[in-house]
Chain A
Amino acid sequence: MSILEIKGLEVKYITHDGTVNAINGIDLEVDRGEALGLVGETGAGKTTTALSILGLVPNPPGKITAGEIFYDGRDLLKESEAEMRKIRGNDISMIFQDPMSALNPVLTVGDQIAEVIELHQKCSKKEAMERAMAMLEKVGIPAERATEYPHQFSGGMKQRVVIAIALACTPKVLLADEPTSALDVTIQAQVLDMMGKLQHEVGTAMILITHDLGVVADTCDKVAIMYAGEIVESGSLVDVYNHTAHPYTVGLFGSLPSLDKDVDRLQPIDGLMPSPMNLPEGCKFHPRCPDATPECAKRCPKVTEITPGHKVRCLKYEGTEG
Chain B
Amino acid sequence: MTARRPVSLPPLLLAAVGWAVLAGCSPPSGDLREPQRLSVAAGLGGQGAGGLAGFERALEARALEFPQDHGPHPSFKTEWWYWIGNLTTAEGRRFGYQLTFFRSALAPPTADSANAARPASNWATRDLYMAHFAVSDIDGSGFRSFERFSRGAAGLAGAKAEPFRVWLEDWNAGAARLADAGGEEWLLEAREANTSVALTLAPGKPRVLHGDRGLSRKGDLPGAASYYYSHTRMPTRGRITVDGEAFEVRGESWFDREWSTSLLAADEVGWDWLGARLDDGREVMLFRLRRRDGSSARVDGTLVEAGGDFRPLRTSGFSLEAEGSWTSPETGIVYPSGFLLELPEEGLAVTVRPLLSDQELRHSFIYWEGAVELTGSAAGTGYLEMTGYGETASPR
Chain B binds chain A: no
A contact residues vs B (CB 8 Å cutoff):
none
B contact residues vs A (CB 8 Å cutoff):
none
